[in-house]
Amino acid sequence: MRITIASGKGGTGKTTVATNLGLALADDRPVQFLDCDVEEPNAHIFLKPRIERTKSVEKLLPRVDEAKCTYCGECAKACEFNAIAVIGKKVIVYDELCHGCGLCRMVCPVGAISEVPHELGVIEYGVARGFPFSRGLLNLGEAMATPLIHELKQGIDPDSLAILDAPPGTGCPTIAAIQGADLALLVTEPTPFGLHDLRAAVGVARSVGVPIGVIINRDGIGDDMVERYCADEGIPIVMRIPFDREIARLYSQGIPLVDALPEWRDRFRALYDTTTMKLAREDGVK
Ligand code: SF4
Ligand code: SF4
Q: What is the reported pLDDT for 281?
A: 62
How far is it, in rounded angstroms, from Cα 245 to Cα 251?
A: 10
With contact defined as beta carbons under 8 Å apart, do 71 and 88 qualify? yes
Q: What is the reported pLDDT for 276?
A: 67
- Does the beta carbon of 69 lie inside 6 Å of ligand 1? yes
Q: What is the reported pLDDT for 11?
A: 79
**Residue 27 contacts by C-beta under 8 Å, 6 or more apart in sequence?**
none
pTM of the shown model? 0.89
Give me the residue spans of the domains in the chain. 2-48+129-282, 59-119
Centre of ligand 2 to C-alpha 67, Å, is: 20
Q: What is the reported pLDDT for 285?
A: 43
Tell me how far CA of residue 96 lies from CA of 83, 102, 166, 216, 227, in angstroms: 8, 15, 23, 37, 41
For ligand 2, atom 8, name the residue with the nearest CA.
79
Taken as a whole, the chain contains a residue count of 286
Q: Are strands 131-138 and 2-6 parallel, antiparallel or unpaired?
A: unpaired
**Residue 270 contacts by C-beta under 8 Å, 6 or more apart in sequence?**
none
SS3 276: helix
For ligand 1, atom 6, name the residue with the nearest CA.
75
> In the chain, which residues have pLDDT < 70?
275-286
CATH of domain 59-119: 3.30.70.20
The CATH fold assigned to 2-48+129-282 is Rossmann fold (3.40.50)
Atom of ligand 1 nearest to the CA of 71: 5
**Residue 171 contacts by C-beta under 8 Å, 6 or more apart in sequence?**
none
Q: What confidence tens digit (pLDDT) does each residue in 139-198 have? A: 998 888 999 999 999 999 999 999 999 999 889 999 999 999 999 999 999 999 999 999
Atom of ligand 1 nearest to the CA of 113: 7
Atom of ligand 1 nearest to the CA of 76: 6
For ligand 2, atom 2, name the residue with the nearest CA.
101
In this structure, which ligand is nearest to the CA of 80? 2
